[in-house]
Structure 1
């Protein structure tokens, strides 16, 4: 069964121990891989990098911890919102300009 990303917004998230974790506020997608990475439980409004990391650690759920999606989202308790396995994403590196890719060495 497939689910549209837009259908995830507002869904209740429960652990498989029947504990409510929260509601999906937003979905974070890795555009390079084309997959859902995290579900956020509240808006990510951070004024500093450290605050953004804290919010990602405490107020998001790794999508790989999702066991099932139907009327609710069911997650594994050992991989819930406190999963430190993956750091909060850093700001993307700016791509090198076209000319930098073809510079000749030694000049």
Structure 2
């Protein structure tokens, strides 16, 4: 396995899919906690209109908490966003 550190900016532009294979969007930016030097979210744009039709995302997109990320490779896999969106009590995601 290649242990070479990756630039955090290499995530920008990657497509994001749910673990069920549903296209979510494309990473436009990274949300960092500078105090702890930890990635805590992905700013996702170019959203799948079918997933976000009932949300006013405007032109900016959504922030996906980094703890939802399951794998990073040529694409980024996240926990099933469809189920997360259906849960009205879940305040982890933020439409920005």
Map of 2:91 onto structure 1: 84
Q: 2:66 aligns with which of 63, 81, 85?
A: 63
Which is higher, the Rg of structure 1 or of structure 2? 1
RMSD of aligned C-alpha atoms? 2.8
What is the deviation of 1:84?
A: 1.2
- The unaligned stretches of length 5 or more in structure 2 are 46-55
Instruction: Tell me, yes or no, if the aligned pair for 1:62 and 1:80 is still in contact at 8 Å.
Output: no
Paired residue secondary structure (2:9): helix
Against the structure 1 CA distance between its residues 76 and 10, is the aligned structure 2 distance closer, same or farther, given a 3 Å change threshold? same
1:91-106 counterparts in 2 under 5 A?
Answer: none
Identify, as 1 or 2, the structure richer in strand: 2
Aligned residues: 75
- The unaligned stretches of length 5 or more in structure 1 are 43-53, 89-107
Paired residue secondary structure (1:23): strand
**TM-score scaled to structure 1, two decimals?**
0.58
Q: Answer yes or no: is 1:37 the counterpart of 2:35.
A: no
Q: Answer yes or no: is 1:75 the counterpart of 2:78.
A: yes
Identify, as 1 or 2, the structure richer in helix: 1
Structure 1 segments, 4+ long, off by >3 Å, are 78-83, 85-88
**TM-score scaled to structure 2, two decimals?**
0.64
Against the structure 1 CA distance between its residues 74 and 35, is the aligned structure 2 distance closer, same or farther, given a 3 Å change threshold? same
